[in-house]
Amino acid sequence: MIAINNNKQQFSNFNNTITKFQKSIIFAGSRTLTRARLLSWREYIEKLKFSDNYDWLTVLKAALEIYNGELKGFAMLPDEKERREAYLKDYMKKLIMTSIQTVLYKFKKHVDDKEVTETPEEAKSYSIEDIAIKVSIEFCLNINETSFLFTEIYEFFRENGLRENFINLLCPPIVAGQFRKEYIPESIMEKLIVYLEAKGNYKLLEKII
């Protein structure tokens, strides 16, 4: 609002307010108006990617929080759930794919460049491949993209010799009911059945079927 002081001079007089407008955030004080530029959601994620203590899991977690509307206040990002998710969907699919590709590439390069001293049991416990598969499954479930999980993501792991790992790590979330509302392709179910029959794990197979 505009107020007039005792000397007949006009000055701005605002109630203390903070509001977002497009790519800016406006701070309205009692006599001042300050504008600052908001980070976009993409700038925020890129900032995390290139930080000194970069961690791919932290980046994926932040992306999911933005996608789910838990992390707010970014420029040019729809607040409405359906619009926001549709707007971010393609980016989220590319993000999980590039993340697992980069992680496995770095892991293989590390193994090639450095002699591995872990026992087979230790290597299995800390398998970055298994972590990548688990994260991919959870991520795709969170963004309702199981079709992407069972096509491009699965194909990537298969091409890297991790088909059995993928099928094996698919069992726990299926048993836990996380795929109750999702469609699992017949080709994946066939591989799952063959895998469990070969392992003689009929109890688990019964739970899944």
pLDDT in tens, 148-184: 999 999 999 999 999 999 999 999 999 999 999 999 9
Q: Torsion-angle region of residue 71: left (phi > 0), alpha (psi -120 to 50) or beta?
A: beta
Contact 60/68 with Cβ under 8 angstroms? Answer: no
Band (pLDDT 50/70/90 cuts) for residue 126 is low
The total of other beta-carbon atoms located within 10 Å of residue 139's CB is: 24
Neighbouring residues of 8: CB distance < 8 A, sequence distance ≥ 6: none
Angle at CA of residue 162, ends 196 and 129, nearest 5°: 115
18 - beta bridge partners? 27
The C-alpha atoms of residue 41 and residue 115 are separated, in whole angstroms, by: 40
- Residue 78 has phi, psi (to 5 degrees) of -60, 140
pTM, two decimals, is 0.78
Band (pLDDT 50/70/90 cuts) for residue 13 is very low
The reported pLDDT for the residue numbered 113 is: 61
The reported pLDDT for the residue numbered 38 is: 74
The reported pLDDT for the residue numbered 120 is: 54
Per-domain residue ranges of the chain: 1-38, 39-118+126-208
What average pLDDT score do residues 100-117 get?
A: 76
Question: To which residue do tokens 């792991």 refer?
Answer: 157
